[in-house]
Amino acid sequence: MLSRVISFDEVVKTSIETFRNTFGTDPDLATCAPGRVNLIGDHVDYNDGFVLPMALQFGTVIVGKRNGTESTCDVVTCSEGIQEGLKRAQFDSGSIAKGSPKWLNYVKGVMFHFRRPVPGFDAVIHTNVPVGSGLSSSAALEVATLTFLEQLTGQRAGSEADSAKLCQRAEHTFANVPCGIMDQLIAIGGRANHALLIDCRNLATEPIPFEAPDLAVLICNSSVKHELSSSEYPVRKKQCQEALELMGLDSYRDASLDHLKALQNASELLVRRARHVITEIQRTTEAAAALRANDFAKMGALMKESHRSLSEDFEVSCHEVDLLVEATLQAPGVIGSRITGGGFGGCTVTLVERQALADVVKHVDTIYSRKTGGKYRAKFYLAQPGNGARKLDLSEYLE
């Protein structure tokens, strides 16, 4: 059975109700930004590669208004998983420093790098993006915050690429995660019924039509929190850079499998890391071509190859996620499946025939639970390509 996710309308309405109950008035601004699932192209965005994500119809919402003060910001979250005493915090927009609660650092980081005076405001944040599952809840919060600040101040951060880089800097400096640029760019530039091919070397984007009524994109959450990703992510990034230097190249876009010969006497580990990046970049361009041609069999084959590479060469999967992919690929009607996101847990993304969807979910749920000894139960979400960040019309929700 598909897991229930509170609807986007519920997220907005709950945000408004919480704002009223907390601040005694209605908000006059509302913005949102989506989570994302990456169809293919993981751990190449910080290596000048191509990625092919799609924005989800899950998103993060911020409602708020100016509070009449010069710089006092009062922010509340009603998102799940936050301790009760850490759901509300005040800070000064003219003197921003990271600290506790941790979730607020994403907001503060964006405000710090916005580099424009921000008046005092009250705000409520809510989301239906599953947190810690590899669906980019952090970028959704960053981009929703930037969109909110632009509406609040009437000042634009710049182009889509400029905005994405601003949010990326916020995550680097205030959350201490050296992420690539993919998550922020798709949260800004997503389009309904499209995936987005992103060239991470020059940040050019190309919407790729993704309309297949007979197919479904299924997200399977392993229920394993990707706790190692924050520590292992910078390790992988450093290994990729070391391999690039040993190959005598400035960019992985100039690399071919022949260049791996330069690494064979240095480190088999670096060979595997570089091999993943080189082949994943190639797979992603081939996947975009397959989508353009509606060649979903080719797309599925590339997804399978991608998971094998991420698991064996880049070693960012884990036992439970490998079990989940294995169980999924055994189900009739599945075209392709792979881990998605940073790794070490989190979610898989699966391309499946729509008529087989219910049977696939039942099969995977049963097998995965049994093979993990009942320790983990998968959660299942049906994904559709959604739009990127935007201002919401509050008149549709206010009563």
Contact, 264 vs 271, CB < 8 A?
yes
Residue 132's pLDDT is what? 66
Residue 281's pLDDT is what? 98
Crossing angle between the packed helical segments 229-246 and 268-292, to the nearest 10 degrees:
100
> Among 183, 199, 313, 322, which one carries the catalytic annotation?
183
Q: What is the pLDDT of residues 71-117, one digit of tens each?
A: 999 999 998 778 888 899 999 999 999 999 999 999 999 999 999 99
Does 183 participate in catalysis according to the annotation? yes
Q: What is the pLDDT of residues 263-317, one digit of tens each?
A: 988 899 999 999 999 999 999 999 999 999 999 999 999 999 999 999 999 999 9
Tell which residue, 11, 103, 108, 104, has the closest CA to residue 63.
11
Q: Residue 137: in which H helix or E strand, if any? A: helix 137-153
CA 126 to CA 36: how far, in whole Å?
Answer: 16
Neighbours of 190 (CB within 10 A): 29
DSSP label at residue 30:
E
Rounded to 5 degrees, what angle do the CA atoms 197, 161, 385 make? 40
Q: What is the pLDDT of residues 16-39, one digit of tens each?
A: 999 999 999 999 999 999 999 999
**Residue-wise DSSP of 187-229:** HHH--TTEEEEEETTTTEEEEEE---TTEEEEEEE-S---TTH
Contact, 307 vs 283, CB < 8 A?
no
- The pLDDT of 347-352, averaged and rounded, is 96
Neighbours of 364 (CB within 10 A): 28
Neighbours of 161 (CB within 10 A): 17
Tell which residue, 339, 330, 331, has the closest CA to residue 305.
339
- Entry pTM: 0.92
β-strand pairing of 29-40 with 88-92: unpaired
CA 190 to CA 39: how far, in whole Å?
Answer: 13
Q: Which two tokens stand for residue 182?
A: 């993919």
Name the average pLDDT for the chain: 94
Rounded to 5 degrees, what angle do the CA atoms 29, 34, 37 make? 175
Set out the domains of the chain in order of their start, with CATH numbers: 8-210+386-396 (3.30.230.10), 215-383 (3.30.70.890)
CA 299 to CA 290: how far, in whole Å?
Answer: 6
Tell which residue, 250, 186, 208, 245, has the closest CA to residue 48.
250
Residues contacting 86, CB < 8 A, separation 6+: 100, 101, 103
